[in-house]
Amino acid sequence: MNYTENIISKYRAHGFKLTPQRLAILKCLDGNTSHPTAEDIYIELKKTHPTVSFATVYNTLTSLKDMGALLEVTIDPDRKHFDPNTTPHHHIICTKCGSIGDIFVDYSQALTLPEDVGAEFFLTGNHVDFYGLCKRCRTKGQV
């Protein structure tokens, strides 16, 4: 079974209708670690699918998020970023260029809730955001 057939069977099993545009979006997301925005994906897809609309890209990303196949990263309040890696992980954000990296360390044992919060909530997960300067910005002397 080739790559496209694998994608088709995986998403059809979830009742996800696959159009050529949706397949292109899935291919764009596959292995993508840049945490793209809907606009980033739209610009990339316009190169090969000139008739694709921004609404199609955004609605497809929303559907994928709703079915649990995509994470919405809400680090930037002005632009939603999307992460195709749904494995629990954290993020590090460059404060100069805004690039986002993944951190695959479990911090659940290091985190404790204040007693009053723990009495009100049963903890089911966590997400930690780290901030700093990426290597590229440090190299450029943007400290």
Question: Residue ranges of the domains in the chain?
Answer: 3-83, 90-139
How far is residue 74's CA from residue 19's CA, in Å, rounded to a whole number? Answer: 27
Q: What's the confidence (pLDDT) of residue 93?
A: 93
Q: What's the confidence (pLDDT) of residue 120?
A: 87
Residue 74 is classified by DSSP as: E
DSSP string for residues in 23-54: HHHHHHHTT--S--BHHHHHHHHHTT-TT--H
Q: Which CATH superfamily hosts domain 90-139?
A: Ferric-uptake regulator, C-terminal dimerisarion domain (3.30.1490.190)
The values of phi and psi at residue 81, to 5°, are: -105, 155
Low-confidence ranges of the chain (pLDDT < 70): 1-3, 110-111, 142-143
Residues 71, 32 contacting (CB under 8 angstroms): no
Architecture of the domain whose range is 3-83: Orthogonal Bundle (1.10)
How far is residue 16's CA from residue 14's CA, in Å, rounded to a whole number? Answer: 5
Q: What's the confidence (pLDDT) of residue 143?
A: 56
Q: What's the confidence (pLDDT) of residue 71?
A: 93
